[in-house]
Amino acid sequence: MQHRHGWKRWLTAIAAGLMLAGTALVPGRADGASAAREQRAAMTASAARGHMASAAPVSWADLQRRYRGVFVLRAVASGGRRVALTFDDVPDPRYTPLVLNVLKRKRVRATFFVVGSRAAKHPALMRRIVSEGHAVGNHTYSHPELPKLSLGQVEREIERTGETIRATAGFEPAMIRPPYGDIRPAQLEWARSRGYIVVNWDVDSQDWRQIPAGVVLRNAVKGLRPGSIILMHAGGGAGQNLYGTVNALPRLIDQLRAKGYELVTVPELLHIPERKRKPG
């Protein structure tokens, strides 16, 4: 039974992925495309971490070693039983308020990775994220695959988003999360030279697969350890259903607290500033 259900979910996820991939082909639908791209790249990323055939030339673990303090998957130094919840692709008027409501009710502060084009459209939501004590990071302006971009293009994606966040939050964030977690070493060199810290994750809830809350919950605690950074989404592409995330969140918070975990923001977890320092 369990297996048949697993397969059904898997097939549903694949079908949803294909539908979203279809929308990605429609020009001028960057937001709609983002979900499908996120899915494709997340698969590539997990393949890379699993050292499969399609692996990227450099694994995330290698990057974390080579770019210590610049490319981060989790907190390595022990700082007690602390973990961080992170939510990508915000602000989204459908899901971000629902996620914020749960966090407020549970008195949890989390970290939100902001897409600049969305922040420009929903400044009130941006102000709410910040005023409720959450940390924010830069998730690029148009959610492109960074490895395909030149350094100049990457710089424009990041700086334009930083300026948009400054307009509502009052500061530019130090943290960058690349779309799909994908970034090249040369781009990491650039990030380091500009005082940015690239923050990915070590635990993937896989909520972008539009899976039920129970599965989101299970994924979000699989492999979890002190210092972990958990990937979730509070925004999606056109038609993407993130109610699994919204419904899993209260239970996830309760479970983590029952296991003695303290939920903190990424800057608190990593002991880094939230605001970007001026380079040079």
Alpha carbons 242 and 94: distance in angstroms, whole number: 9
Active site residue 233: yes
Nearest Cα neighbor of 200 from 228, 160, 171, 223 is 228
* Residue nearer to Zn ion on the CB measure, 67 or 208: 208
* Residue nearer to Zn ion on the CB measure, 179 or 227: 179
Catalytic residue among 31, 88, 182, 204: 88
Catalytic residue among 182, 204, 233, 254: 233
Contact yes or no for 128/100 (Cβ under 8 A): yes
Distance of closest approach, residue 217 Cβ to Zn ion, in angstroms: 21
Distance of closest approach, residue 181 Cβ to Zn ion, in angstroms: 9
- Tokens standing for residue 187: 């781009």
In the window 48-77, what residues touch Zn ion (CB under 5 A)?
none
What Å distances lie between residue 156 and 100, 111, 116, 118, CA to CA? Answer: 29, 23, 11, 16
Dihedral-angle region of residue 195 (phi above 0 means left; psi in -120 to 50 means alpha; beta otherwise): left
The dihedrals phi and psi of 102, each to the nearest 5 degrees, come to: -65, -45
Residue with the CB atom nearest Zn ion in the bound state:
88
* Residue nearer to Zn ion on the CB measure, 88 or 172: 88
Interface region with Zn ion, contact rule CB under 5 A, candidates 52-60, 160-168, 173-181, 247-255: 173-181
* Residue nearer to Zn ion on the CB measure, 144 or 179: 179
In the window 77-96, what residues touch Zn ion (CB under 5 A)?
88-89
Nearest-5° angle of CA 124, CA 236, CA 263? 75
Distance of closest approach, residue 138 Cβ to Zn ion, in angstroms: 11
Interacting residue ranges for Zn ion, rule: CB under 5 A: 88-89, 179
Catalytic residues: 88, 233
